[in-house]
Amino acid sequence: MGQGLSCNGRHELGLFTAVQYGDLETLQFLLQRDPTLLHQTTAYDHNSALHIAAANGKIEILSTLLDQSVNPDVLNRQKQTPLMLAAMHGKISCVEKLLEAGANILMFDTLHGRTCLHYAAYYGHSDCLKEILSAAESSHVAASWGFARFVNIRDVRGATPLHLAARQRRPECVHILLDSGALVSASMGGYGCPGSTPLHLAARGGSLDCIRELLAWGADRLQRDVAGRIPYVVALKHKNGACAALLNPTSAEPLVWPSPLKFIAELNQDAKALLEQALMEANREREKNILKGTAYSLPSPSLSDVAVEDNLSEASDAEQCCICFEQLCTIEIQDCGHQMCAQCTLALCCHNKPNPTTACLTPPVCPFCRSTIARLAVVKMESPHDYDHDLDDLSSSKQRKSRRSRNFNEGSSSFKGLSAVGSFGKMGGRSSGRIAAENECIDDKQ
């Protein structure tokens, strides 16, 4: 009897070793010899072969196990699913395979009450985060539970995925979550970091990039936690001087992305990227003025800034914005067809910041013809290296000059109000484990 148990134990060890190192041949041999090994788990953590394959990114092993009708939501000792471990370790191929096999994204562990979305945000795996959010939009979760509710799902400490991403200095994940509808000023629950918003946690972690994203999406610099501290005080306490300078209530207000406006929410990705880049660059100029002369001065412009300026210097006058006369026309207003640069479009949208609590939101109007802006699109610009269509280029140049003249004549009465917003400066580029690791948390004392 003892000898039989010993042999079985060796087979289990061989199975888990084969899974960990991706030895498909050995795995198939062991399962053919003893199919019951498929349901064995490790002694302490109770991890199944599926957990180990997902955590180590062994996609062939994972596919083979799923083909054997293994439950994709099998639980280990902490009630973690293979999907959670794949998201924790950033194994995007395994995340995709498990979601394809029907893994449940609404499972909670018993360690911190977190879902796979929390794990992806906490460990900064933006590709896994996008895949899980995409699955939530196209699955029953969006209809039954609600997509917005899922994006703002809380763990046992009241932390949303946005809280975790901000605390762990994950700016790309912060951006993805905000763009998906995460509440920018949501407060945490009763213990851990009570009353803290994502901005409090970003100030505590010292991430300038996370603070930039949160401020650009309307985070409140004056919101207090349970102890009565604003994010500025938290940044000072943790000796994050540059963050404190930006969060100082006496410093200039940042520009805020006007997300409640319908035509902004329905932007295509190209137009949205241009406007977001203009917004972040405008706030970057604000940061330079705030930090100028301090020990936290921002670095000199990057190579991408210089490259953009060179491109602008080569542009013809007919392609320049008729409001600022500095940038190329990159945004077209539909349906009137007037064109502006991204900075001036952003100034128009942010001149009167919408109130999210207002029932009726009045969209901005075109500064040239005063018609309501229904939609924004990216201007389609022809390649300067296309020499086979000289006549077409000449005619299009005349059309642009005609449009520029029409813009100037129709909008002369609108420039004064728009110019009050101020100059935005030049558009440039944005600055930018093992299974046991889940014991980390954000509830250490402040």
C-alpha–C-alpha distance, residues 328 and 303, integer Å: 19
Per-residue pLDDT, 312: 38
Angle at 44 between CA 42 and CA 49, to 5 degrees: 20
| Local structure of 189: helix, strand or coil | coil
Per-residue pLDDT, 288: 86
Question: Is 268 among the domain residues?
Answer: no
Per-residue pLDDT, 297: 65
Per-residue pLDDT, 394: 41
CB 329 within 8 A of CB 228: no
Per-residue pLDDT, 191: 59
Write down how long the chain is.
446
Q: How buried is 250 (Cβ within 10 angstroms: 0-12 exposed, 13-18 middle, 19+ buried)?
A: exposed
Per-residue pLDDT, 435: 42
The H or E element that residue 147 is part of is: helix 147-151
CATH code for the domain of 321 = 3.30.40.10
Q: Whole-structure pTM over 0.85, yes or no?
A: no
Question: Is 301 among the domain residues?
Answer: no
CATH code for the domain of 127 = 1.25.40.20
The H or E element that residue 6 is part of is: helix 2-20
Per-residue pLDDT, 355: 52
Question: Is 50 among the domain residues?
Answer: yes
Per-position DSSP letters for 197-232, written without gaps between them? -HHHHHHHHT-HHHHHHHHHTT--TT---TTS--HH
Per-residue pLDDT, 431: 38
- Domain's final residue, options 153, 169, 186: 153
Q: Residue 37, CB half-sphere, CA atoms under 13 Å: how many?
A: 26
Backbone angles phi, psi at 339, to 5 degrees: -125, 150
- Domain's final residue, options 87, 118, 153: 153
Tokens 């599926």 sit at which residue? 50
Q: 151: closest CA among 140, 139, 160, 163?
A: 160
Question: Is 334 among the domain residues?
Answer: yes
Q: How buried is 117 (Cβ within 10 angstroms: 0-12 exposed, 13-18 middle, 19+ buried)?
A: buried
Per-residue pLDDT, 16: 87
CB 343 within 8 A of CB 327: yes
Contacts of 445 (CB under 8 A, 6+ apart): none
- Domain's final residue, options 153, 186, 208: 153
Range of the domain at 112: 1-153
Distances (CA, A) of 117 to 91, 104, 380: 14, 11, 37
| Residues above pLDDT 90, as percent of the chain | 42
All residue ranges of the chain with pLDDT < 50 are 1-9, 300-318, 354, 356, 359, 384, 386-398, 400-406, 408-446
C-alpha–C-alpha distance, residues 102 and 141, integer Å: 12
CB 170 within 8 A of CB 210: yes
C-alpha–C-alpha distance, residues 298 and 219, integer Å: 22
Question: Is 41 among the domain residues?
Answer: yes
Question: Is 367 among the domain residues?
Answer: yes
Question: Is 338 among the domain residues?
Answer: yes
C-alpha–C-alpha distance, residues 137 and 129, integer Å: 12
- Total tally of structural domains belonging to the chain: 2
> Can you read off the two tokens belonging to residue 242?
């540059």
User: Which residues partner with 375 through β-bridges?
Assistant: 334
Question: Is 350 among the domain residues?
Answer: yes
Is the bond preceding residue 155 a cis peptide, omega within 30 degrees?
no
| Residues above pLDDT 70, as percent of the chain | 72
